[in-house]
Amino acid sequence: MADMFAVVSRPGPVETEVLAELSPTFSVHRRAASRVTLRTLEGGPEKPGEPPLVLLHGRGHAASMWFPLLPALARERRVIAVDLPGFGHSSAEPFERGSAEDGVRFFVDPIELLLLSLNIREPIFIGHSLGGLISVEIALRGSLSPRGLGLIGSMGLGPAMSYPSRAFFRAGPERVARAVGPAITKRIAPLPDTPVGGRLNALEYELYSIRGGRPSPAAAFNALFPAVGPAFHRLSHLSEITCPTLLLWGERDAVFPPSVAEAAARELQKPELRIEKNLGHSPHLEAPERILPVILDFIARL
């Protein structure tokens, strides 16, 4: 029997407080997906004929980073927010080096298997950055038939990726967090100085500063982009995606410029492009009160 890679981390004090506030609407689950265990936050009613929302976060984050949006989303749909393999409190298989396709499989395979095991065949994906790439890849594979894709500052749509962000990720946010402390949250995708922004910054720092770092998912993520040259993308295949796709971007995205979303919109069959003024790479975290109605409107039309 193949070895299972166990979850060894536990929520820190900031995340523990967030989870307590989300309870009892959201409950924590640990679900097997092949050789790894994925942590999920699940809440909201199951409504016949209405597919669940599957929320996939970006590099280094966790399902709990969606907390400003979760209660409102759960009033409308069943919600499953997943810690990506190796991030948050999900385990991962070892990864030291490999091709971009290897890196994609590292993240996508367990998520795909999880949804198949839960018999979720027509999810609505809301994916941020790396989570957007995973959403696109699953839609292209054809094992599931997503009802819709909500892509926020998504990776995987085009070759452009800023060089400062490449340097930041290759340096390793976890390593940088241990060196510079909470100031790390001001580097690539700074959040506003608000009560919610402050809590998100504290949670992000707590996730980044985990003892030992996250070597396997960091290596798999770094395989998706070279130091110079095109980042991994599926631009030439986007025309194969048949479901409605929301492209939600910040006009000041410092990782993937809005031109990536504009080019993707020209290829997709059913695109909806929104570029939000004065927001950056994480518009749903920078201005949740502004972005939540956009997401709710999108899912209501699916």
Q: What is the pLDDT of residues 197-251, one digit of tens each?
A: 999 999 999 999 988 889 999 999 999 999 999 999 999 999 999 999 999 999 9
Instruction: Kindly give the parts of the chain with pLDDT less than 50.
Output: 1-2
Residue 211 pLDDT: 83
First to last CA, the chain: 41
AA letter at 112: E
- Helices 100-117 and 130-141, axial angle in degrees (round to 10): 70
Residue 36 pLDDT: 95
**Three-state helix/strand/coil letters over 90-130:** CCCCCCCCCCHHHHHHHHHHHHHHHHHHCCCCCCEEEEECH
The Cα–Cα gap between 159 and 256 comes to 9
Residue 1 pLDDT: 36
The tokens for 17 are 């407080």
Q: CB neighbours (10 Å) of residue 275? A: 16
157 burial level (CB within 10 Å; 0-12, 13-18, 19+):
buried
Q: Is 188 left (phi over 0), alpha (psi -120 to 50) or beta?
A: alpha
Contact 41, 23 (CB under 8 A): no
Burial code of 213-227, b = ≥16 C-beta within 10 A, e = fewer?
bbebbbbbbbbbbee
Strand locations in 2-112 (E): 26-33, 36-43, 53-56, 79-82
The Cα–Cα gap between 71 and 209 comes to 27
Q: In 3-state terms, what secondary structure has residue 242? A: coil
Q: Is the pTM of this model over 0.85?
A: yes
The Cα–Cα gap between 228 and 81 comes to 33
Residue-wise pLDDT for 133-151, tens only, equals 999 999 999 999 999 999 9
Burial code of 238-274, b = ≥16 C-beta within 10 A, e = fewer?
beebebbbbbbbbebbbbbbbebbebbeebbeebbbe
105 burial level (CB within 10 Å; 0-12, 13-18, 19+):
middle
The Cα–Cα gap between 170 and 189 comes to 16
Q: Is 213 left (phi over 0), alpha (psi -120 to 50) or beta?
A: left
Domains of the chain: 15-300 (3.40.50.1820)
Residues whose CB falls within 8 Å of the CB of residue 87, separated by 6 or more in sequence, listed in order: 57, 59, 60, 61, 62, 207, 214, 217
* CA 154 to centroid of chain Cα atoms: 9
- Specify the DSSP class assigned to residue 223: T
